[in-house]
Amino acid sequence: MNCNIVKDLIPLYIDGCCSEESEKVVEEHIGDCDDCKRLLEDMKSSSDIITVSESPKTFSKLNDWKASVLQSVLLFLSFALITIGVALEARTQSGIGNGFWALNLVIPATGFMLSLANWYFIRVYKNRKSFSLFSLIATLGITLCAYIWSGFHYELNVFELFSECDFIELLDVMQGILFLNGLGIVLTIVFCTLSKILSNQYAKMLGKE
């Protein structure tokens, strides 16, 4: 058998793409021909390197894609919650219920959505742990700022509320706050927890240590 024909067949042989007959021809030939045997071994080892170096690339690309999907889905969901909250708030008549949905849904969802902006700056963080911790702090910080702003907006004077009242009255005030804002407090805790867990997951997908 001609060496040149075998050399043409070797790449197909390595990829396992040639017929059984050709396979036999190649195997028989390299039994006798050292040149072709060496060529086969060289090509085999270089094709191994290519496979090894290509697979993590594909893997990381897939994970980059997953990370982007996660971020987009979260942006969309938190925006949807804000929209629902605004719609519900617009339906409430002025009175004691005014501001209920703003405090209990719009503010926590806004805190979470705005904290997602931090995810664009993941490169700045040294490691996954610091990124995840800062995401939690950002969510909590933005939410608290929004609550303070809402206190001014609804002209709620917390100091007046708490001063000049005895213990029993204080309990009443606390109960009132829980009644008016309990859902918002729960949601804030949920969003802060989600922020920590999901940002960690996001960083993992992007291969952050």
Instruction: Find tokens 């990370």 and name the residue.
Output: 67
Q: What is the rounded distance in angstroms from the CA atom of residue 128 to the CA atom of residue 205?
A: 11
With contact defined as beta carbons under 8 Å apart, do 148 and 121 qualify? no
For Zn ion, give the closer residue by CB, 42 or 64.
42
Does the footprint of Zn ion cover residue 33 (CB under 5 A)?
yes
CB of 119 to Zn ion, least distance (A): 58
Query: 3-state secondary structure string, 66-101?
Result: HHHHHHHHHHHHHHHHHHHHHHHHHHCCCCCCCCHH
Given candidates 9, 10, 36, 203, which one binds Zn ion under the rule CB under 5 A? 36
Does the footprint of Zn ion cover residue 10 (CB under 5 A)?
no
200 vs 72, 77, 168, 203, CA distance in Å? 16, 19, 43, 5
For Zn ion, give the closer residue by CB, 14 or 194.
14
For Zn ion, give the closer residue by CB, 3 or 171.
3
Does the footprint of Zn ion cover residue 26 (CB under 5 A)?
no
Does the footprint of Zn ion cover residue 3 (CB under 5 A)?
yes
**Residues forming the site for Zn ion (CB under 5 A):** 3, 33, 36
